[in-house]
Amino acid sequence: MKEVAAVLPGVIEELSEKGESYFGFSLPVSAHIFTGLYASNAFVDHQMEMYFAIEKLSQDPSLLRVIVAHEMIHSYHYHLLGHAGIDWQAIDWSDVRNSLYLEGVATYLSEKLVPGHPQHVYFSYEDEGEDWLDFCKQNHKKIAAAFLADLDSENVNMEKEWLRLSGGQHFGYNRLGYYLGTTLVRDLLEELQEEEMLKMLAEKDVAGEVDRWLRQWG
Amino acid sequence: MKINNTTEDFFRMYEADTSFQLDDYHQHHLEIFTTYFHSYCKKTEQKLTAAKERYPQDYEN
């Protein structure tokens, strides 16, 4: 915790500069650093503030850069959606398809902001996770089909099964929604400019887009 | 962007008192812990105790 606390503020400063040069504005919110109870390591709340709990984070500055980039992009994305005139009241936060898109954006763009890591690091924020990504790549169709089937079922806690560390009952691999979301974003960018893709939640039916994207694999 | 680093407070309180009460740290930083306990970590006695037991092994990391 002492080592993480010593390096994390510098990493946040560094990423703050990178974010400003990438997005063209600085974030008018705070980044909170604290000691938590071994729950979530990092998150952004609905006020777009960033939170980092040090007790489980890696001391490796290069890995910290990846998770800080991920959270900072969430905050930038919310700000950009705000600039695009999003009606936050109209967003269904319980719809996992919105979460898929939001996590996909943060994961995809974190690689742009801090390039040079093995691809799996952008998903796991640690050195491990190569087998996880191999599994995703080899089973892409199966994973998409299972997600689609779960969407139709009323008995699945989608957020947990597909996005949380505590999920992953289907295949024995958790957080597969991050892989789906990132692949979705990569595919969207084949047709859309990055700026348009970032404004989608304000201007388009993201849930419908996710459905269409998933259905191409049956 | 502002950085609100509360870890110095945590270390100071932790090191000053062997009967350190985590609650004091939480009460000092409601700007964080209101959100944390509301949406990201349900506050239970079990979690508080488990965390206090785990801190020593992770303290210098």
| Positions of chain A with pLDDT under 50 | none
Instruction: Record the tokens describing residue B13, joined without a space.
Output: 């309180």
- Taking the C-alpha atoms of residue A47 and residue A126, their distance in angstroms, rounded to an integer, is 27
According to the model, what pLDDT value does residue A218 have? Answer: 61
Give me the mean pLDDT over the B3-14 stretch: 95
Residue A43's domain comprises 2-215
Phi, psi of B47 (to 5 degrees): -70, -35
- Taking the C-alpha atoms of residue A12 and residue A128, their distance in angstroms, rounded to an integer, is 23
CB A57 within 8 A of CB A152: no
How far away is chain B from the Cα of A213, in angstroms, using its nearest Cα? 30
* Structural domains of chain A, count: 1
**What ipTM score was computed for the predicted complex, to two decimals?**
0.97
Band the pLDDT of B44: cuts 50, 70, 90. Answer: very high
* Contact residues on chain B for A38, CB-CB shorter than 8 A: 47, 50-51, 54
Band the pLDDT of B20: cuts 50, 70, 90. Answer: confident
Closest residue to B59, CB basis, from A2, A31, A53: A2
- Taking the C-alpha atoms of residue A53 and residue A35, their distance in angstroms, rounded to an integer, is 5
Say how many C-beta atoms besides its own lie within 10 A of residue A137's C-beta.
12
CATH number at residue A188: 1.10.390
Task: Indicate yes or no: CB of A32 within 8 angstroms of CB of B6.
Answer: yes
CB A177 within 8 A of CB A99: yes
According to the model, what pLDDT value does residue B18 have? Answer: 73
Written as one letter, the residue type at A88 is: W
**Residue-level length of chain A:** 218
According to the model, what pLDDT value does residue A185 have? Answer: 98
Residue entry with tokens 């952004």 = A44
DSSP letters for B12-27: HHHHH-TT--HHHHHH
* Contact residues on chain A for B50, CB-CB shorter than 8 A: 37-38
Instruction: State yes or no: pLDDT of B19 exceeds 80.
Output: no
How far away is chain A from the Cα of B30, in angstroms, using its nearest Cα? 11
- 3-state secondary structure at position A58: coil
Q: Helices A176-188 and A194-203: crossing angle, nearest 10°?
A: 110
Chain B contact present for A2, CB below 8 A? yes
Task: Indicate yes or no: CB of A1 within 8 angstroms of CB of B58.
Answer: yes
